[in-house]
Chains A and B, each alone.
Chain A
């Protein structure tokens, strides 16, 4: 029973991070119809920079702030060199390859700068030994903090998108670029803004997930990218609440399988789910089926 509760708690905590990553993926997908295959490496960069700066004696909060800024800038550069020039190419081949390339480049750079070994991640929120008792089980306070922060950020983003003028702008661009432009919305600025915010979200998610896992290494982003993509597809790519539900479900399933079967089986869960979901609903659960354009 204790073990079950601990597994569920850690599942909810990583699941909330998946939702956060999914939201970042969504944001740029809405404005450009581009899915950033390099997003995983941006998570890694955010976590890695925090870890390295703290290890060199930097203040924890300053380190986190700096890594968020760097993550946002990385996405801005990706938009500039990897997305905008590729939108001229028919289909998705161009930007899939270029954003994947950006991710590989970041991964290679991190290996070169910091080595391929896992780096211990500092305690940013509470201590890893802090626990509280819940239903007789001891739950790490860090898990709870990560869960709460992720859910709050997702909630705030949802509020921003639904209630603020600029949120309306983003949704208008997502729905119909031409119409948005005719309404006086500066589409370019909205697109660049969505990449910057997506970068911030990725950086934050990287820090949070590294806090739970305790270490960060150059390869740590790719699995997260796929898991978050699955969470988003399961939850429906249109809504933040959807990716939250999808993320939490996936996180709990993953941890339960990991705890009761084997960690290797947990790794396979996401892939199997991905293939299953896409097979059952080929267009994903991104809302409506693509209408056949003739």
Chain B
């Protein structure tokens, strides 16, 4: 089965298929070519909602709104202003992208079912506008007489386009869009979208701004749907609001979910199935909405990963395959060697000064001061609720400290947003691993390197030599990290299927892939086997050897004993001890903090 899929999705097979279709368009009936055009438009729509809902995780129940904006814009621009086809569809796509950008401002602030409700409302607003703004849209009567290939009124620079040529132009645009889209999705941008999907908090700690990422996703998704709308307008020749109601939005959603959210191949399959099914199956057409309803109810139960999951094809979110591997990687490229010449350094890497953190009157940290030096591994221990994780959250920008300063390389970073702090070189992990479960180990670790990329979205979409070189360099880092972590043989495994310990190791490797200067680890050894803990120790030591300052929260004292240079003990939001492990074990205050006061005095 998978061999068959490989054969079909092979670049050459697809290229031959496209050429055959383009040629055949001139010899088959007009109705057939029309159908092919509809398939192409539906593929664009499915990819568009896939980007927003499948990849970025922002559910859209009003996608027909973007489709409508594109269709009306292109129709009116050509009919009213006489713009030629390429200009009118591109401008229509741009207008629709603008609508997406605007929608992202309110939509970016809500999530879950609030977002679902808002997107539903967006679709209905556009639909109502199309019905009521008679001066522009012609109201319920719609826009008639749009130049169209079907009735031979569409011309391009004086050359009348028939259905076959229109299909060829559409096919070419589709191929171009798909290739650029695929390159884009497989770049660090695609991974950033997915990071926002899985955990907005974790995305921030990768240096990804969730607000900016969502705006980009909405604009891009709106643009692709608008492009589909523009081509639709000149395919059918007339527009009425009824083509853009709730049912169209549902249809787009059904295509994408049945195809398989997150999979590029799946979208093509979904679009083909739901273009032909109503045509071929009269019964399906009669009961179309009942069928769509049933599909939506049961699809996640029966076909959780869609047709793509059924065929066991998955979209890869790195260019590893495209680049044909990464060549030779030596461990030296894993991390930048930072000189930790302590004599020459100007004070500590990070200095926490009198930081206090209060939550509605409850004091989690009270006047904590702490210095961390490059190349030094420090343990942070203390009983439950003593404020250890709170300190890490304050440093990494998830909480804004109530008072006090945090100086990173002499600059106060207290209260800055987490993606800014991550971009400055402070990387953290969480108590529960925040990997993307459907990514491979390699893709997950590569996500960590996001902050290091310099190439822009256009370079990513066009796969410029610079973009390729950068991706290859980052993949080299990942390879070296996997070797140290002992994950090389898991590189191509889906991380969600792996044992917990491997997932945790991968998360620490991901944190190191960002080439940090300060690494904050929140209980990295929890749930690790002896062997895995040993790998973890090696990873952390390697970081320290390269000049990274490391702060480790953990409860496993035996694990910490093999790892750290010094220990900080917290009790009730205050530092009660700082020194080495042996000193801690015999320290009265520490023993009291753990075991209680009286027992010690009696003993």
Contacts and interface: CB of A to CB of B under 8 A. Distances in A.
Contact of B106 (A96, A104, A279): A279
A98 B297 contact: yes
Contact of B109 (A81, A105, A278): A278
B89 interface: no
Nearest to B300: A94
Interface stretch (A119-127, A136-144, A267-275): A267-275
B290 A105 contact: yes
Query: Chain B interface secondary structure, helix, strand, loop or mixed?
Result: helix
A41 B71 CA distance: 29
Contacts of A282: 109-110, 114
B109 A279 contact: yes
B297 A101 contact: yes
A108 B296 contact: no
Interface size class of A (residues with CB under 8 A): 35 or more
B201 A294 contact: yes
Interface in A75-115: 81-82, 85-86, 89, 91-94, 96-98, 100-109, 111-112
A107 B125 CA distance: 20
A74 B288 CA distance: 21
Interface stretch (B115-123, B542-550, B559-567, B581-589): B115-123
Interface size class of B (residues with CB under 8 A): 35 or more
Given A98-B296, A101-B297, A108 B389 contact: no
A268 to B, nearest CB: 6
A105 B294 contact: yes
A18 interface: no
Contact of B288 (A81, A82, A108, A292): A108
A81 B246 CA distance: 23
A30 interface: no
Nearest to B392: A294
Nearest to A35: B113
Contacts of A109: 290
A275 B118 contact: yes
Contacts of B132: 264
Query: Chain A interface secondary structure, helix, strand, loop or mixed?
Result: helix
Contacts of A92: 59, 112-113, 116
Contact of A93 (B59, B114, B121, B286): B59
Nearest to A102: B297
B59 A108 contact: no
Nearest to B133: A264
Contacts of B201: 292, 294
A292 B210 CA distance: 15
A229 interface: yes
A267 to B, nearest CB: 6
Given A81-B297, A271-B124, A226 B117 contact: yes
B117 A229 contact: yes
A223 B253 CA distance: 20
B500 interface: no
A195 interface: no
B509 interface: no
Interface in B413-438: 430
Contacts of A101: 292-299
A104 B293 contact: yes
A169 interface: no
A166 B560 CA distance: 51
A206 interface: no
Contacts of B290: 104-105, 108-109, 112
A109 B118 CA distance: 26
B77 to A, nearest CB: 25
B293 A103 contact: yes
B420 to A, nearest CB: 17
Contact of B300 (A86, A108, A268, A283): A86
Interface in A13-44: 35, 37
Contact of A294 (B125, B286, B393): B393
Contacts of A268: 125, 128
Contacts of B294: 101, 105
B296 A274 contact: no
A222 interface: yes
Q: Closest 3 CB pairs between A and B?
A: A101-B296, A105-B293, A108-B289
Given A104-B289, A108-B287, 18 more contacts: A37-B116, A81-B298, A86-B301, A93-B57, A97-B299, A97-B300, A100-B116, A101-B297, A101-B298, A104-B290, A104-B293, A106-B293, A108-B293, A264-B132, A268-B125, A271-B121, A278-B109, A292-B201
Interface of B: 53, 57, 59, 61, 105-106, 109-110, 112-114, 116-118, 120-122, 124-125, 128, 131-132, 201, 246-247, 250, 253, 257, 286-301, 389, 393, 398, 430
Interface of A: 35, 37, 81-82, 85-86, 89, 91-94, 96-98, 100-109, 111-112, 222-223, 226, 229, 264, 267-268, 270-271, 274-275, 278-279, 282-284, 292, 294
17 contacts: A35-B113, A89-B300, A96-B113, A98-B297, A101-B298, A103-B293, A104-B290, A105-B290, A106-B293, A108-B291, A222-B246, A226-B124, A267-B128, A271-B128, A274-B118, A282-B110, A283-B110
